[in-house]
Amino acid sequence: MKLAIASLLFGSATAFAPAALSNNQAISSTQLYGRKPFISGNWKLNPQSKDEALALAKDIADSITDDSPDSDVALFVPYVFIESAMGAVEGKLNVGAEGVCPQINGAYTGAISTPMLKSIGVQWALAGHSERREIFKETDDYINAQCLKIIDEGMSVMLCVGESLSEFEQDLAGSVCAVQLKKGLKGINKEDLDKVAIAYEPVWAIGTGKVATPEIAQSVHATCRSILADMYDQEAADGVRILYGGSVTPESVDDLMSQPDIDGALVGGASLDSEKFSRIINFKTA
């Protein structure tokens, strides 16, 4: 089994496209349960100037047309560019924050609070991104505090979960995601899950150019949905959007988005290229 997975792991995503399905089978669970696809970009520590940010945001917004899929689109951008990017996109997509401080005020130099973000119109924020976990040593408890504060403020959170390569090779992806989901969503009621999206981001695929095959990604997404069903119930789990975030490209997005439990994408490097991100926004499914 491990050898079979390994053979899938480093192949191209398009090489493992799902087999053709009958008309009835072709209805994905995203459609069946009314989960609106969600395509999002995470700019991280990019770009390096306001002018670049404005041009990129405008080009991305211009790529959303009447012919685009009926999806939610968001950009998570550095704090200093949020308001400028909002103006540039003219309401065609959401502009969110890459993170928040769970404290409201006080002696927290460099921190940004949820009331500050909400006051300028931010509705979405990331929590738990692997780079925040690893580089900035944000713990599960800290990430949970972020999630709770974002929801308390009436905003929505995209909680990121995912395993390292060594954990994946040891078949621990499900266990890692279970811990991160249960700790990250602790104290969040079923009624508030409409303010939550999950981004599965295998750490070994972030910024490496490696992409989990559609089958691998689908398997972990289905596991995450099963974990949510155990935490809440099946109805709640079926309503939560689970995005894939691991070096998504124009070449891989169609096959990924054709999977029944993949409801969108959290895109890193390709979201800094308006042509590439436009193709991802305008994904095509079988």
* Residue 159: φ, ψ to 5°: -90, 125
Quick check: is 129 catalytic?
Answer: yes
- Retrieve residue 29's tokens: 């669970």
Task: Give the three-state DSSP class for 179.
Answer: helix
* Strand residue runs (E) in the chain: 38-42, 72-77, 94-97, 124-127, 156-161, 196-200, 241-244, 264-267
How far is Cα 230 from Cα 223, in angstroms, rounded to an integer?
11
How far is Cα 2 from Cα 163, in angstroms, rounded to an integer?
16
Give the distance from CA 227 to its chain's centroid: 17
Spatial neighbors of 155 by CB under 8 A, at least 6 apart, are: 114, 117, 118, 122, 123, 124, 125, 195
Name the active-site residue from 98, 129, 131, 167. 129
- Retrieve residue 171's tokens: 């078949």
Cα–Cα–Cα angle for 202, 157, 81, rounded to 5 degrees: 90
Nearest residue to 187 (alpha-carbon basis) of 156, 231, 155: 231
Q: Name the pairing type of β-strands 241-244 and 94-97.
A: unpaired
* Cβ proximity of 8 and 202 under 8 Å: no
Quick check: is 235 catalytic?
Answer: no
Task: Give the three-state DSSP class for 21.
Answer: coil
Name the active-site residue from 98, 131, 138, 201. 201
**Residues catalogued as catalytic:** 129, 201
